[in-house]
Amino acid sequence: MIVRTLDEITDTAADIKTENWRSKRIILARDRVGFSLHETTLYAGTESEFCYQNHIEAVWVIEGEGEIEDLGTGEVYELRPGSIYLLNDHDRHRVRPRTDLRVACVFNPPVTGREVHDENGVYPVVTLEEAEAIEAAEAAETSTPAGSSE
């Protein structure tokens, strides 16, 4: 059993901050449970476009209000506490929070925490092995004496 708190995640590498949103990754690929679980806050008045070509995402609104537009169909849906949207078809979509929107997100395959949205709001696939290699490389870099060129 693993027990954590959101407070422990706050301001760590698993707490991703951007201009439009902030996402605390509660459970990641390294936990090896087949999904990742995030608490994400999308900021009031922003507009964000996303399309997860390589992931399925479920989003459950815990707090706040706004709307989501399915960019494939043009349909717009209201979001309020208790709203759920499931991007089961890699749907391109735009989210417009009217207030700060706090949501629970589940990703399959799990996010490693090393993905960065590209210019299309797409997450690339990063395997757990790749993420671990990045982390190992960073750790090696950190432990290299200052001034070393290697």
- Residues near a copy of itself (CB under 8 A) are 1-7, 26-27, 31-35, 37, 39, 56, 58, 60, 62, 68, 70, 72-73, 77, 82-89, 91, 93, 104, 106, 108
N-terminal to C-terminal alpha carbon distance within the chain: 40
The CB-of-126 to a copy of itself minimum distance in angstroms stands at 18
Q: What's the CA gap between 89 and 68, in Å, rounded? A: 15
- What does DSSP say about strands 36-42 and 48-50: parallel, antiparallel, or unpaired? unpaired
When the beta carbons of 80 and 117 are compared against a copy of itself, the nearer one is: 80
The CB-of-131 to a copy of itself minimum distance in angstroms stands at 18
The CB-of-3 to a copy of itself minimum distance in angstroms stands at 5
Q: Token digits for 83?
A: 């709203």
State the chain's maximal CA–CA distance in angstroms. 56
